[in-house]
Chain A
């Protein structure tokens, strides 16, 4: 646990983001956010992670079960939570100095959960403030989030989804060098999930984005993953590698009435080298994840045994997300 994993897979690297003129003088840091040590302690909750880094120009998803420390990790790095930080840096600047400097904060965009502006405020006023602060608002972001439709509304009249659109606009419209998003799709309806997913994947592909993820759509927009679990970070690296490690490429679900036969198949699959993850959701059900080499074995089984019900096919990121959200680790 917490062993450093060096990120070497750059083949999916996205185009470099535009560099702010004032940071061109310094050598460009490899990581958008990094820390040698992050230690948070609050009551019975303990969270510690060593050698954490988020690559520049990548979209990194932070995943894990509820209460594992995903928000804690982000809040500690942004200075919202008391934490022991060693060598923490944001965009190449010491985190504490970065957060105290308005010049540096201009390079940041943040969307958090449960943010409520004053009820008596108006969307137009929040947008005006954003423009005055950053001097620019990307029309593509405004269009994707349909901000003009919200402009004249009083803040208290906004629905959960409309507030989320406004929060995302405030975080992304100025094209920050680093955007930190906490569950960016929460509250959005289907249409806006697709629009925001497209925005993140294509229009804002060059930005460094760190986002806490709970949905498959959010995870789809990411290239890297940080898996927070058991009071620390279980994995950091590219998304595909974690998927291959946890759920492989092939999944099968088998159901039989005969419990003895179920146990026999379970033990047979346990011996298969291609099996990565094997479980029995109930006495007569088997769920198995494995490499592509598992497929012929499953096909043979289906030919030999009259299953009551069976499903098989390629694995998806949602399988990985589901497992990560359960906090399992036996890979």
Chain B
């Protein structure tokens, strides 16, 4: 029966490599999504990029080069917002993503011009400029800002929030969901709708071998898809992921466990459905809420605590949480025994239910 399993698995894999749509969704789409998300939100804890304009030297009364330098320095870290500096005439209109700085003629105040109801990044940039200007002004009066305000690093050990890492891990789970739930369920439903499962039902192939071939082949597809996404994220976009490390090695069983869990869920969804349409509906009922509430690409930091508590027990949320802890925070597997055991429990439940409920045909 091993040879039958091997052939069924090989056939599934060859079909995957031949199918342009499967290749697009498994390989191209995750990279496309990552690109779009990075373009929208940037990489590392940044709200985005803002244009900062200094009014031209000939127009302004007295250019203050010290303050200009101090302002530029304030944005050097790109945290929480990045800036692109330029010099313009003060008659030009101010764009929505721009903050303009006009230095005073004498002892007048520094003018910071921006849309008060504009983008968050612009408003944050205005505040960064305010702090830099106040420091600069204080320094002119012989006041050292550190004597007035002292900042203390309470280093919690938590890594700074990095959109690049957040998106990569979230999209990785989306990619596994796509292969595990959508692709698996629709593939089974398509075989059933086109009567091929009736023929399989007459073949001397046990149900478990058939289901195992789907699981094994799709785990391989998942690993290929995950590998390509991580390589592009690391080397294409320079996201801080240590691919060749013990950390990644530890993440591998988590990815496989989560992937198998999603595959079993996909098989369960398609275990009795009579048509592709019915299966699509069931998949969408799982897939789209998971996209929005799974903490995958939309951070749920501001959600009320009770919603966070509810969401934390959902298998997909648990999976991405464990994955991030292992892959990004460097947590060891034994320290995560409880969430890992829960994931294994969900997997066992979905697998048992899928095996028990699976029918070759409608009756």
Contact = CB atoms under 8 A, between A and B. Distances in A.
- State yes or no: do A and B come from one complex: yes
Interface of A: 78-83, 99, 102-103, 105-106, 108-110, 112-122, 125-126, 128-129, 132-134, 154, 167, 170
Could you tell me the dominant secondary structure of chain B's interface residues? helix
A132 B10 CA distance: 13
B36 interface: no
A120 B363 contact: no
Contacts of A108: 202
B204 A129 contact: no
Contacts of B199: 110, 112, 115, 167, 170
Contacts of A81: 363
Interface of B: 3-4, 7-8, 10-11, 14-16, 18-19, 22, 187, 190-191, 194-196, 198-199, 201-206, 361-363
Given A106-B204, A120-B16, A120-B19, A115 B7 contact: no
B194 A80 contact: no
Given A82-B363, A125-B10, A102 B198 contact: no
Contacts of A134: 204
B204 A121 contact: no
A121 B14 CA distance: 7
Given A114-B194, A115-B196, 7 more contacts: A80-B362, A102-B205, A118-B191, A120-B18, A125-B14, A133-B4, A170-B199
A162 to B, nearest CB: 16
A103 B1 CA distance: 12
B205 A80 contact: no
Given A82-B363, A102-B204, A121 B11 contact: yes
Nearest to A115: B195
Given A82-B363, A118-B15, A103 B204 contact: yes
Nearest to B8: A129
B204 A132 contact: no
B15 A112 contact: no
Contacts of B203: 105, 129, 133
10 contacts: A78-B198, A115-B195, A116-B196, A117-B194, A119-B19, A120-B15, A120-B18, A125-B15, A126-B11, A167-B199
B201 A80 contact: yes
B7 A132 contact: yes
B196 A133 contact: no
Contacts of A128: 7, 11
B363 A121 contact: no
Contacts of A121: 11, 14-15
Nearest to A104: B204
B198 A112 contact: yes
A80 B361 contact: yes
A115 B167 CA distance: 42
Nearest to A110: B202
A33 B362 CA distance: 23
Contacts of A99: 201
A103 B206 CA distance: 10
Contacts of B3: 132
A195 to B, nearest CB: 22
A106 B22 CA distance: 33
> Which of B3, B4, B11, B196 has the most CB atoms of chain A within a 10 A radius of its CB?
B11
A292 B306 CA distance: 90
B210 to A, nearest CB: 11
A137 B27 CA distance: 38
B190 to A, nearest CB: 7
Contacts of B201: 78-80, 99
Contact of A105 (B10, B195, B196, B202): B202
Contacts of A125: 7, 10-11, 14-15
Contacts of B14: 120-122, 125
Contact of A115 (B8, B187, B194, B205): B194
Contacts of B18: 120, 122, 154
Contact of B195 (A112, A118, A126): A112
Nearest to B194: A116
Contacts of A129: 4, 7-8, 11, 203
A20 to B, nearest CB: 12
